[in-house]
Amino acid sequence: MADRELEGKNALVTGGSRGIGRAICLKLAQKGASVFINFTSNEEAAKEVLSRIEASGGKAFLCPFDVSDKDAVKEAISAVVKEHGPIQILVNNAGITRDGLLARMKEQDWDQVINVNLKGAFNCIQACAMAMMKSRWGRIINIGSVVGTIGNVGQANYSAAKAGLEGLTRTVAREMATRGITCNLVAPGFVETDMTAGLPEKIKTSLLGQIPLGRMGSPEEIAGPVVFLATEAASYITGHTLHVNGGLVCQ
C-alpha cells in the first residue's frame, strides 16, 4: 500500500471520535485522505482526533451531526460537498447499544438502535450518493458486527441492525457498481473499545474462550481492513462482508 495513495480524497467517518471510528480516521489521514470526523456529542474527543491528525501533517475537519436525523445529515453533507467537493470515501461506523432481553426490551430501545445503526447508514449513503456518482468513483464501507451473523443474547436490536447493514451493503453494491462505486462491510468481532470495557470479567473470560486467537482485537486491527477497502487494491471487491474476529466466525 503506497504511503499516501488516498491523497486528494475526502473521507467521512461517522462516529469518528472514539474507538474503531477514531482509529479509522487516523489511518485514513495517514494515507493522505482529508478526513471529516463526525460525532454527535463528544466534541472534546473529536477535537483530540483532529489535533492528532493535524500534528502529523494531515487534513481533518469536525463534522457534527446526528446520523439518525435525515435533515441534519443532508444539510451537513451538502455543506461539505459545497465547500470541499464530493465525499469519495464514506465509512458508516456510528453505532449505539441499548441491550436487554427481547421479552422485556422497550420499544424506544429497539427504535433508537435501528435508527442510529441502520437508518443512519442509509441516511449518509443517500446524502453522499449523488455527488459520488457524478465523480464516478467511491468507496462505501459499513461497519457491521459478528453478532449480525451469529446473534447475541440481549442484543436483538443491535444484531438486527447489523444484519440489516449486510443486506443494505449488498443492494448498494449492485445499484452503484456501474458508477465506479464499491460498497462493502467490515464485521468486527469483539474489540477493546468503550462498548466492551464495561463487560463483566466473567463474560469477557467466556468470550475469549470462543476466540481461536485467544484475545480481543484492537481498533487498529479493524481500521487496517477498512482502509484497504478504500484503496485501489480493493477495486474489484464489492458487496462483500469481511469478518475480522480472530477466528470467532470462520467463513
pLDDT of residue 1: 40
pLDDT of residue 196: 73
Contacts 24+ apart (CB under 8 A), 174-181: 174/239, 176/129, 176/132, 176/133, 176/138, 176/140, 177/238, 179/132, 179/133, 179/136, 179/138, 180/135, 180/136, 180/137, 180/138, 181/132, 181/133, 181/137, 181/138, 181/139, 181/140
Q: What is the pTM of this model?
A: 0.95
Measured at the CA of 48, the angle between CA 193 and CA 75, to 5 degrees, comes to 90
C-alpha cell at 9: 480524497
Catalytic residue among 158, 162, 182, 238: 158
Domains, the chain, in order of start with CATH, read 10-244 (3.40.50.720)
Q: What is the mean pLDDT of each run of 10 residues along the chain (251 residues)?
A: 84 97 98 98 97 97 98 98 97 96 97 98 98 96 96 95 98 98 97 77 82 94 98 97 94 70
Sheet with 10-13, side-by-side order of all strands: 59-64, 34-39, 10-13, 89-92, 138-143, 181-188, 241-244
CA–CA separation, 98 and 192 (whole Å): 18
Per the annotation, the verdict on 158 as an active-site residue is yes
